[in-house]
A and B are shown apart, each in its own frame.
Chain A
């Protein structure tokens, strides 16, 4: 039986930027264990000989040429924004310092 701790589920929720009630979290644990048990079946396959490298595109001949195309209008870009101001997306709250 795959085992997963409540704390781990909470961490995943945080990483996912999703909130769950305590009850939801509890049921998540049970469900997750079942799902993990299901996906753990992959361990039955011997994959030691597999090379994970994928097919490639040729860098010299198959990539996009560096030629400018017309951008979209500012209006098209921001028209779906919940909030905007002076052509920019407005973040309607404080932004904690950080990023990458």
Chain B
């Protein structure tokens, strides 16, 4: 039996029934990581730590001690999530040698649930990008077809799950950085409601939009992972919300009769690739056939969301990345004359081009004279988008649309054109602006065999509705295969 291909729930069961130990499983994962090294999915591994955790869990199991929800399950976290004693590079030369002195809340929650963290996933530098080509440690390759990008910025986190290096992973999503790679790689990727998961210890890109989320091979796996990492973090993150964490797994519904699915025409315009469109239409038809009610909803300002997004996210990023100055930690340039020169040289040599581009844009929109016209205006547009979504959700339980207008593109295809690259986020960024939860689940493939992703959006705090719909779709289509 190939244990590595099982879902998280399946492997959990194998571990519980002692068909395999966590140590054996962890070793298998590391072998798989080595065998699929070419994908460049990871920045670093922590083999010693992982094996010692696995052994401890095995021992605990042997002793009959109480075990966490992820006992012995190998997982991977994105390399912008701090784990004490390991490197947190954010795929940047600047932090190449930065060793975390502390652990992020979400990583701690994984450890508290007895998960085995294998390593840190590659990403676009500081989570800026949609193709994972902006990593200082080289691009990640799409595990489905290595000529293609896996999507970004959490490209490594999507790839490692698809390539069976682990059973689930954590990524972060600021404008689509979980959902886009999930779509491109054909895995399940959820960005929870903003505030659902603590951001403490997660290196910020755009603080008001960043959210930690989960990659998995099944919807139910995803629900369990989210349950583990969610919750208020009063001591460490003021933006983490005081919301109870439901038992998403137990609450999973088995049918969708009477559920209202909103369809906004703005998501299905002519920019949409015809195969993606066809696939989505089939899915919608499927839902309707199974008793869901399709409802037309309107999101008139959707097409400007991406513009507002680039203003707000760049502004926050500029400020968040100013701390990287070459004095306290990280890269320090050689041969400088005075502190200002040290700043210039360290930052110029330490950051990659996309990061620099966003820092420049961020400073432009924040600088005196432009602040009102750009930053403030963009914040206003964000409010309008939030209102439009709120109104739409008065008419439906979830909304469905494509995750991305296309399937994965080829490596190098869009690297020279930042605006073309930004277009790959147009269906995902509005969700971040509206602070909503959304998931991408596989819903087919194009002629080239590349996965197509369907995005399911719910209103704030209603991840359950997403899990319900996604689980139903996944289970039904699995049976159909």
Contact A93 B342 (CB under 8 A): yes
- B339 is contacted by which of A51, A72, A94 (Cβ under 8 Å)? A94
Residues of A within 8 A of B97 (CB): 80
- The smallest C-beta distance from A22 to any residue of chain B, in angstroms, reads 14
Is the CB of B363 closer than 8 A to any CB of chain A? yes
Interchain CA distance A91-B436 in the complex, whole Å: 43
Q: Could you say which of B2-10, B41-49, B56-64, B330-338 contacts chain A?
A: B330-338
Interchain CA distance A42-B97 in the complex, whole Å: 40
Number of B residues, CB within 8 Å of A: 61
The range of chain A's interface size is: 35 or more
Contact A80 B383 (CB under 8 A): no
Interchain CA distance A94-B340 in the complex, whole Å: 9
- A76 is contacted by which of B101, B327, B364 (Cβ under 8 Å)? B101
Give 1 or 0 for each of B85-101: 1 = CB within 8 Å of chain A CB.
Answer: 00000000000011101
Contact A52 B376 (CB under 8 A): yes
Residues of B within 8 A of A36 (CB): 364
Interchain CA distance A4-B91 in the complex, whole Å: 31
- B304 is contacted by which of A9, A45, A76 (Cβ under 8 Å)? A45
Is the CB of B380 closer than 8 A to any CB of chain A? yes
Contact A39 B345 (CB under 8 A): no
Is the CB of A87 closer than 8 A to any CB of chain B? no
- A82 is contacted by which of B310, B332, B381 (Cβ under 8 Å)? B332
Is the CB of B419 closer than 8 A to any CB of chain A? yes
Residues of B within 8 A of A93 (CB): 336-339, 341-342
Interchain CA distance A50-B342 in the complex, whole Å: 43
Query: Would A82 and B419 be within 8 Å (CB), given that A42-B304, A45-B381, A50-B384 are in contact?
Result: no
Residues of B within 8 A of A45 (CB): 301, 304, 380-381, 384
Q: Find the A residue at minimum CB distance from B343.
A: A17
Is the CB of B452 closer than 8 A to any CB of chain A? no
Is the CB of A86 closer than 8 A to any CB of chain B? no
Interchain CA distance A28-B361 in the complex, whole Å: 11
Contact A16 B356 (CB under 8 A): yes
- A13 is contacted by which of B101, B242, B307, B360 (Cβ under 8 Å)? B360
Is the CB of B328 closer than 8 A to any CB of chain A? yes
Contact A39 B307 (CB under 8 A): yes
- A79 is contacted by which of B99, B343, B359 (Cβ under 8 Å)? B99
Give 1 or 0 for each of A63-93: 1 = CB within 8 Å of chain B CB.
Answer: 0100000001000110111110000010111
Contact A17 B351 (CB under 8 A): no
Residues of A within 8 A of B98 (CB): 80
Contact A80 B381 (CB under 8 A): no
- The smallest C-beta distance from B317 to any residue of chain A, in angstroms, reads 11
Give 1 or 0 for each of B375-414: 1 = CB within 8 Å of chain A CB.
Answer: 0111111011000000000000000000000000000000
Contact B345 A19 (CB under 8 A): yes
- The smallest C-beta distance from B79 to any residue of chain A, in angstroms, reads 16
Interface residues of A (CB under 8 A from B): 9, 12-13, 15-20, 28, 31-32, 34-36, 38-45, 47, 50-52, 57, 62, 64, 72, 76-77, 79-83, 89, 91-96
Interface residues of B (CB under 8 A from A): 97-99, 101-102, 234-235, 238, 242, 301, 303-304, 306-308, 310-311, 318, 322, 325-332, 336-345, 347-348, 351, 356-357, 359-361, 363-365, 367, 374, 376-381, 383-384, 418-419, 422
Can you give 21 contacting A-B residue pairs, CB < 8 Å?
A: A12-B360, A12-B364, A13-B360, A16-B318, A18-B347, A19-B345, A20-B348, A39-B308, A39-B361, A40-B307, A42-B374, A43-B377, A45-B380, A50-B380, A50-B384, A57-B238, A80-B101, A93-B341, A94-B339, A95-B339, A96-B340
- In addition to A39-B307, A41-B303, A72-B101, 13 A-B residue pairs with Cβ atoms within 8 Å of each other are A12-B360, A12-B364, A18-B356, A18-B360, A31-B357, A35-B310, A42-B378, A47-B383, A76-B101, A80-B98, A92-B332, A95-B339, A96-B340
